[in-house]
Amino acid sequence: MAGHWLLARMGKRVLRPGGVETTRFLLDRLAVTNEDDVVEVAPGLGATTRMILEADPASYTGVDRDPEAAGLVSSGMAGANRRVINATASDTGLPASNADVVIGEAYLTMQPDSTKQRIIAELARLLRPGGRFALHEVAFAPEDISDERRAGVSKALGSTIKVNVKPLTVAGWTNLLAQHGLRVEARHTTPLHLLEPRRLVADEGLAGTLRFAANVARNPAARKRVLAMRKAMGANAANLSAIGLVATRSDDA
């Protein structure tokens, strides 16, 4: 089982690398209003979805390749012009230039570089000129990190999380967006402390953290995996961070 779904099964509700702090940074700068058409990629358990819908956008469309996840988020929504479609981020099937805001969290890091390119091209296609784009991912540090060190960190994380881990540096993420006409306007970085006690309490609340800890403690196999993930993140902390970027689509993109 992929690490994020294991954490979800144990009761963790916030699965983004920079936690609620980074998601709030993105949403504050996106400033969604009731006139915006919003597309969210890979809504997962719907934590960010609920925050977006509090702004009562003109429309909301979630895009998730996992039909179970799509159904889960759909079941928690009410009202007109709210839906989640079962599609991939690289081929959404949605009309071009039909969204004011596109946001995606914790889905690009797991993709090879060629797929990252296809996904960003597709999401830029969805945006109207001047539209706002946000991503929330894992970043390598420092900027001059060696290829050998990149490979070692990716292997250490991938072996515990059980998914590919292919971060870019901050400059790498920025350049990727720029290649598709997305100009970065705001940036936020924070340590990758997904499983550290302080971040757990900030993301889950005290009651949620205690519930998560109790569930992990009762399940030896899960406890072994969670501790291994935490150890891998801690051992490579100097070379990893969470990043949030907000960009604007150029008028001539």
- pLDDT (tens digit, 9 = 90+) per residue, 95-151? 999 999 999 999 999 999 999 999 999 999 999 999 999 999 999 999 999 999 999
Residue 1 bridge partners (DSSP): none
Give the confidence band of 66 by pLDDT, cuts at 50, 70, 90: confident
The DSSP secondary-structure symbol of 91 reads B
Domain ranges of the chain: 3-249
May I ask the CATH class of domain 3-249?
Answer: alpha beta
Q: Is the pLDDT assigned to residue 252 strictly greater than 80?
A: no
Give the confidence band of 78 by pLDDT, cuts at 50, 70, 90: confident
> Which pLDDT does position 253 carry in this prediction?
58
For 195-223, the pLDDT digits (tens) are 999 999 999 999 999 999 999 999 999 99
- pTM to 2 decimals? 0.92
Instruction: Give the chain's end-to-end CA distance (angstroms, integer).
Output: 39
Query: Residue 96 is encoded by which pair of tokens?
Result: 């071009």
Q: Is the peptide bond before 167 cis (omega within 30 degrees of 0)?
A: no
For 13-60, the pLDDT digits (tens) are 999 999 999 999 999 999 999 999 999 999 988 889 999 999 999 999
Least confident of 53-62, 70-79, 111-120, 157-166: 70-79
Contact between 90 and 122 (Cβ < 8 Å): yes
Strands 182-191 and 168-169: unpaired
Share of the chain above pLDDT 70, in %: 99
On average, the pLDDT of the chain sits at 94
